[in-house]
Every structure is written in C-alpha cells, then in structure tokens.
Amino acid sequence: MAKLSLFERRRRRVRSALRARAGGKPRLSVHRTGRHIYAQIIDDAAGRTLAAASTLGAKNGGANVAAAAEVGKAIAEAAKKAGVTTVVFDRGGFLFHGRVKALADAAREGGLEF
C-alpha cells in the first residue's frame, strides 16, 4: 500500500469523523485550489449533489477571501432553493482558516446551520 500524503491523511480523518456525527444530514464539501474555490452540498445517502457554487464564473478570479465569501453566500442561496437548512461542514484536508473560513462564515450568515 502506498504511503498517503499528509493532506490525504487529514482528509480521510476529517471525513470519517463527519460520517460518525452527520446523522443523515447533507455535507457541505469545500475544495480549494490556487485559483478557485468550490463548494457542494452532497446527499451521501442518495449519492447526489443538491447544490453547488464556485468562483469559476467570477470576473476577479477566486484566489482571495472576498471571492470565497461570495461563494459562501451563493451556496447558502442554492441550499435554500434545494430545501436544505442544516449541513455538516466538510473542509476536506484544508485547514479551517483564510478562504475556507471565509466561505463557512458567509454560508452561516446566508442561513445555513452547521
């Protein structure tokens, strides 16, 4: 078995802890790259994405905290349309600061509970 990277080990640890306490709630999954940030609300029981938002269509790009906050607001709006109010936050292997934290805070302000 190949040795896992620190990022992959952290991601697996976060996901397994989420499964233990999710209780059937959808998962707000965040992925961050050098240029963009993506967010999805996933229903793991049904195996489908309920809502999604990203900085791909943003005029100013997505590599800053302000763009991440916009994605947080957008995912909260998309969740309302899909009828989702409560989620569990899946930060993946990313640390909870900077753009990931800005997205989470904006999603909370937009009405999502986690």
Label residue 1 by pLDDT band (50, 70, 90): low
pLDDT of residue 57: 83
pTM of the predicted protein model: 0.92
Cα(105)–Cα(99) distance, rounded to whole angstroms?
Answer: 10
β-bridge mates for residue 52, sequence order: 40
Domain ranges of the chain: 6-109
- Strands in 27-32's sheet, in edge-to-edge order, are 48-54, 37-43, 27-32, 88-90
**Residue-wise pLDDT tens digits, 46-65:** 999 999 999 998 777 778 99
Second-level CATH architecture of 6-109: 2-Layer Sandwich (3.30)
pLDDT of residue 106: 98
Mean pLDDT on 78-91: 96
